C-alpha cells in the first residue's frame, strides 16, 4: 500500500535523564544515599590533603578515614551533607552550605531542622552546585565516611564531576559509618567539640539518650521472645532489611530486640532480601517494622496484597515504623527509641511463630 | 493504492472479500483455533500452579474443590494467581484485538496502542490523578487511565478526521505521533516535579500483572469483555477497508462511519487493557502479525486467532517472569520486551509483514 506511512513505534514515555538514575536507586533498594552508594567499590574521593595541613595547627581532628586533619585556625565556614549538618547543628555548629540526597522538605531524616540562612547546594543524589560552593569559600567539608566504599557521602562513585569538585575546595572530614548509630553520633560530637561546640550541652543530650536506651532495654528484657522484622514493601517487592547493614537495627539487636536476620540476602545487594508478595509470609515475626522513609506508602502497599492477612503480625495490627538509615542525632534517636519502647511495651510476643 | 479523491466505478473488483477459503483450509484453521484454545487452557493452569512460591499440585486442586480449606498457599492461589490469570487472559485478548483493529483501520503494520497516543494519554491521566487528587492505588487510578486512554484516542481520531478526506492512515499516524509527543512531555514535566507521581509511574510504566487483584479485574472486565466481543465481529468491515478507501467506498461501505465505530472499540479495548496492566509493549503489534502469518489476510480468521494468541503470549511471558527470578519476580512488560523483540524480528525476516 503506497499510502501507508511508516508508523513510528514510540518508546515507553518518560525515558529521560531523571527517571533513569532515580529508578536505579529506588529499585535497588529505597531512597537514601547509603543504599544508592552501596554497590560501588572503593573509590578514591578522599585524596587526603595532608600536604596542605600544617603540623601543630590550632585545630586538629581524626576523621573516619583514619587521617588526622589540622588547620591553623578552627574552621568556621563549613559545607556539610544534610545529615551531617543536622548532626552538627544539634551541637550548635551551623554550616554555611548543605547538600542533600533528595528534597530537603521531603526527607524524613531532615524533619524539624531550620536551614534558614544556609545555602542549599543540591537536593538530588550525585548533584552538588560546585560553583555556588566556591562562592561560599568553605574551609571544611563534613560528611559521613563509608568504610566499605572508602568515600565520604557526596563523593561516591557515580556522582557528577561537579560534586567531586567539592573535595578540592577544602578538606573533607567526618565520622565513619559502622555497626552502630551511637558511634556516628559520638563521632559528630567529637567533631563538633573540636569546632567549638558546648561540651556540657552534648553531655546532657547524651545523658537523655542513655536514659532512652535504658528504657528500651528494660522493655525488651520484659519481652525476651519478641521478634521483629524490618521491611520495606514497594512496587511488587516485599523487601526485608538485613540488620548487618542497618546500624540502627544492629543497635536494637544489641539492646535486646530480636530483629530477624533474613536467611538469603540478595546476592548482589545484600542490604535486603527481596521476596515476591507470594512469599511475603516467609517470616512470621511478632511485630513488623516498616521503613519510615516510605510511610505510610509501605503499609498501604502491603495492605493491598491479599497475603497480608497471612502475616500474623499484620493481621494482629502489630506494626510500627523504624527510622531507616538516617539517624544522626541524640535528639532524633531518643525520640525514636521512646516511640519504639512504648510500642514494645504493648506488643504481644506470641503473635508470630 | 493512492487515494486520488476521485472514486472510480471501474475500480470495483469482482469480490468483496478475499478469495474463498477452501473447505480443507477452513477445517485446518478451525483446528488451529482449537489448538490455541487448548494451549491457553494449559497455560492458564500453569499460571495458577506455578509461581515464585512453590505450591503442590494437590493444594492447587484444593483451592477449587475444597472451598472450606484455608491456608496461605490457598490465599496465594485464590486471591493472587487467579485474578492475575484472569486479568492476563482479558488484557491479552484486548490488546491483541485492539492491535489488530488498529492495524486494520489505520492500514499501518506498525500501529499499536503506543503509536496512537493511547499509552501516553493513560500515563498523563495517571500522573494527573496522583498529583491533583493523591490517588495512590492501582484500583484508584484505573478509571483515570481508562479516561485518559479514551480521550487521547478520540483526540487522535478527531485530529485525523478533520479535512475533506477524513481519517486517512497517514493522518492517523501523524496525529498519533503528535498527541503522544505532547502528552509525554507534559507527563515528564509532572513526574520530574513530583516524587509520588514518579514512584507510581515507575512501576505502572513497566506493565505488570502482579499487584492487581480481583477488584481491578471486576472494574475493567465489562469493558474488556464487551470490547472483545464487538471486535470479533469486525472482520468483514476490516476486510473491505483493507482494499483501500476508494474501493471500500465503491463497494458501498460508509468508510468514515466504519472507521469511527472501529476506533470507539479500539479506545475501549486498549484503554481498559492499559488501565489494568500498564503500557504493555509489543503484544498489540506482534500478535496480529503472528495471526496473519497463520491464516492469511482474512480478518474473519485473524481476529479470533488474535483473541486467543494474545492471552497465550501474555500468560507465557508472565509465567516466565515469575519462574526465572524466583523468589522474586520480573514484570511481564519486561519479559515480553525481551522475548518479543527477537521473535518479532525473526517473524519479520521470515515473511513480508508490511502487506496490509
Among A4-18, B166-180, B226-240, the least confident range? A4-18
Give a yes or no: residue B4 inside a domain.
Answer: no
Please check whether residue B233 lies inside any domain of the structure.
Answer: yes
Q: Which residue from B201, B176, B174, B199 is spatially nearest to B187, judged by alpha carbons? A: B201
Share of chain B above pLDDT 90, in %: 17
Q: Give pLDDT, residue B226.
A: 92
Q: What is the CATH number of the domain that holds B207?
A: 1.10.3470.10
* Mean of all residue pLDDT scores within chain B: 81
- Return the top range by mean pLDDT from A200-204, A333-337, B239-243: A333-337
At residue B278, does pLDDT exceed 50? Answer: yes
**pLDDT computed for residue A15 by the predictor:** 26
Question: Which of B81, B137, B201 shows the shortest C-beta gap to A304?
Answer: B137
Of residues B273 and A330, more confidently modeled: A330
Q: Examine the predicted complex and report whether its ipTM is higher than 0.90.
A: no
Domain that residue B343 falls in: 33-350
pLDDT at B138: 59
In terms of CATH architecture, what is A201-345?
3-Layer(aba) Sandwich (3.40)
Superfamily per CATH, domain A31-197:
Nitrogenase molybdenum iron protein domain (3.40.50.1980)
What pLDDT was estimated at residue A24? 29
* Spatial distance between the Cα atoms of A74 and A84, rounded to a whole number of angstroms: 18
- Say yes or no to pLDDT of A69 above 80: yes
Residue B24 lies in a domain: no
Same fold? A31-197, A201-345 = yes
- The answer to whether position B194 is within a domain reads yes
A19–B354 CB contact, under 8 Å:
no
What's the domain count of chain B?
1
Question: How many angstroms separate the CA of residue A44 from the nearest CA in chain B?
Answer: 31
What integer pLDDT is reported at residue B5 of this predicted model? 43
Is B192 within a domain? Answer: yes
Which member of A2, A275, A306 has the closest CB to residue B2?
A2
Q: What is the pLDDT of residue B342?
A: 83
Q: Which of B168, B211, B281 sits opposite A236 (nearest CB)?
A: B211
Domain ranges of chain A: 31-197, 201-345
pLDDT value, residue B163: 77
Looking at A249-263, B137-151, B273-287, which range is the least confident one?
A: B137-151
- Binning pLDDT at 50, 70 and 90, where does residue A280 land? very high
Identify whether B15 is part of a domain. no
| Res. A6: pLDDT tops 60 | no
Which residues from B are below 8 Å from A275, CB to CB? 327-328
The answer to whether the CB atoms of B176 and A7 lie below 8 A apart is yes
Q: Please indicate, yes or no, if residue B109 is contained in any of the structural domains.
A: yes
Confidence of residue B17 (pLDDT cuts 50, 70, 90): low
**Nearest chain A Cα to B70, which residue?**
A310
User: How high is the pLDDT of residue A45?
Assistant: 36
**Whole-number average pLDDT of chain A:** 83
> C-alpha angle B148/A24/A8, rounded to 5°?
45
Nearest CA in chain A to B197: A19
pLDDT tens digits, B200-235: 677 677 677 776 778 788 888 888 999 999 999 998
Residues B111-118 have a mean pLDDT of: 79
pLDDT at A30: 37
Amino acid at each position: 500500500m503506497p499510502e501507508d506511512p511508516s508508523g513510528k513505534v514510540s518508546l515507553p514515555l518518560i525515558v529521560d535523564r531523571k527517571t533513569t538514575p532515580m529508578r536505579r536507586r529506588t529499585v535497588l533498594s529505597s531512597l537514601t544515599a547509603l543504599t544508592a552508594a552501596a554497590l560501588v567499590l572503593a573509590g578514591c574521593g578522599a585524596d587526603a590533603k595532608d600536604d596542605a595541613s600544617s603540623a601543630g595547627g590550632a585545630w586538629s581532628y581524626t576523621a573516619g578515614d583514619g587521617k588526622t586533619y589540622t588547620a591553623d585556625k578552627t574552621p568556621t565556614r563549613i559545607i556539610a551533607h544534610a545529615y551531617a549538618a543536622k548532626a552538627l547543628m544539634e551541637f550548635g555548629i551551623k554550616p554555611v552550605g548543605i547538600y542533600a540526597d533528595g528534597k530537603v522538605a521531603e526527607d524524613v531524616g531532615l524533619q524539624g531542622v531550620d536551614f534558614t540562612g544556609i545555602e542549599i547546594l543540591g537536593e538530588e543524589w550525585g548533584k552538588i552546585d560546585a560553583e555556588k560552593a566556591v562562592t561560599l569559600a568553605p574551609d571544611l567539608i563534613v560528611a559521613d565516611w563509608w568504610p566499605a566504599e572508602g568515600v565520604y557521602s557526596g563523593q561516591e562513585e557515580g556522582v557528577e564531576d561537579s560534586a567531586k569538585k567539592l573535595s578540592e575546595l577544602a578538606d573533607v572530614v567526618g565520622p565513619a559509618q559502622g555497626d552502630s548509630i551511637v558511634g556516628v553520633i559520638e563521632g559528630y560530637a567529637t567533631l563538633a567539640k573540636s569546632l567549638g561546640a558546648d561540651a556540657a550541652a552534648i553531655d546532657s543530650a547524651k545523658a537523655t539518650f542513655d536514659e532512652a536506651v535504658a528504657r528500651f532495654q528494660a522493655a525488651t528484657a520484659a519481652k525476651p521472645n519478641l521478634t521483629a522484622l524490618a521491611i520495606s514493601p514497594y512496587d511488587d517487592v516485599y523487601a526485608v532489611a538485613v540488620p548487618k547493614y542497618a546500624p540502627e537495627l544492629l543497635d536494637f539487636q544489641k539492646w535486646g530486640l530480636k530483629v530477624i536476620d533474613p536467611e538469603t540476602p540478595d546476592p548482589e545487594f545484600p542490604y535486603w532480601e527481596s521476596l515476591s508478595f507470594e512469599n511475603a509470609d516467609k517470616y512470621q515475626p511478632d511485630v513488623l517494622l516498616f521503613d519510615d522513609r516510605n510511610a505510610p506508602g509501605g503499609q498501604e502497599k502491603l495492605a493491598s496484597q491479599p497475603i497480608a492477612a497471612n502475616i500474623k503480625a499484620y493481621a494482629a495490627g502489630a506494626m510500627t515504623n523504624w527510622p531507616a538509615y538516617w539517624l544522626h542525632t541524640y535528639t532524633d534517636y531518643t525520640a525514636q527509641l521512646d516511640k519504639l519502647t512504648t510500642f514494645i511495651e504493648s506488643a504481644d510476643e506470641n503473635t508470630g511463630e | 493504492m493512492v487515494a486520488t479523491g476521485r472514486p472510480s466505478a471501474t475500480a470495483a473488483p469482482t469480490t468483496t472479500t478475499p478469495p474463498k477459503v477452501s473447505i480443507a483450509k477452513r477445517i485446518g484453521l478451525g483446528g488451529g483455533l482449537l489448538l490455541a484454545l487448548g494451549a491457553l487452557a494449559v497455560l492458564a493452569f500453569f499460571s495458577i500452579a506455578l509461581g515464585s512460591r512453590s505450591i503442590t499440585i494437590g493444594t492447587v486442586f484444593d483451592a477449587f474443590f475444597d472451598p472450606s480449606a484455608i491456608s496461605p498457599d490457598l490465599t496465594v492461589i485464590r486471591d493472587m494467581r487467579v485474578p492475575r490469570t484472569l486479568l492476563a487472559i482479558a488484557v491479552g485478548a484486548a490488546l491483541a484485538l485492539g492491535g489488530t483493529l488498529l492495524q486494520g483501520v489505520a492500514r499501518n503494520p506498525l500501529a499499536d496502542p503506543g503509536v496512537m497516543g493511547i499509552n501516553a494519554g493513560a500515563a498523563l491521566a495517571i500522573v494527573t490523578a496522583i498529583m491533583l487528587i493523591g490517588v495512590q492505588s492501582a484500583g484508584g487510578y484505573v478509571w483515570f487511565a481508562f479516561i485518559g486512554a479514551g480521550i487521547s484516542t478520540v483526540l487522535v481520531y478527531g485530529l485525523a478526521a478533520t479535512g475533506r478526506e477524513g481519517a486517512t492512515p497517514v493522518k492517523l499516524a501523524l496525529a498519533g505521533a503528535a498527541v503522544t509527543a505532547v502528552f509525554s512531555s507534559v507527563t515528564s514535566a509532572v513526574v520530574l516535579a513530583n516524587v509520588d507521581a514518579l514512584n507510581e509511574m515507575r512501576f505502572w510504566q513497566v506493565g505488570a500483572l502482579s499487584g492487581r487483584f480481583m477488584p481491578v479485574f471486576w472494574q475493567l472486565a465489562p469493558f474488556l469483555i464487551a470490547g472483545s466481543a464487538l471486535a470479533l465481529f469486525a472482520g468483514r468491515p476490516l476486510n473491505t477497508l483493507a482494499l483501500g478507501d476508494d474501493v471500500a467506498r465503491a463497494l458501498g461501505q460508509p468508510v468514515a462511519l466504519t472507521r469511527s465505530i472501529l476506533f470507539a472499540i479500539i479506545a475501549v479495548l486498549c484503554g481498559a487493557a492499559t488501565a489494568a496492566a500498564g503500557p504493555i509493549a509489543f503484544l498489540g503489534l506482534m500478535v496480529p502479525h503472528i495471526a496473519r502469518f497463520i491464516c492469511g489476510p482474512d480478518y474473519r480468521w485473524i481476529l479470533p486467532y488474535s483473541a486467543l494468541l494474545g492471552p497465550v503470549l501474555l500468560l507465557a511471558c508472565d509465567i516466565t517472569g515469575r519462574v526465572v527470578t524466583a523468589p522474586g519476580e520480573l514484570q511481564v512488560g519486561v519479559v515480553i520486551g525481551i522475548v518479543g523483540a527477537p521473535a518479532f524480528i525473526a517473524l519479520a525476516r521470515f515473511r513480508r509483514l508490511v502487506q496490509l
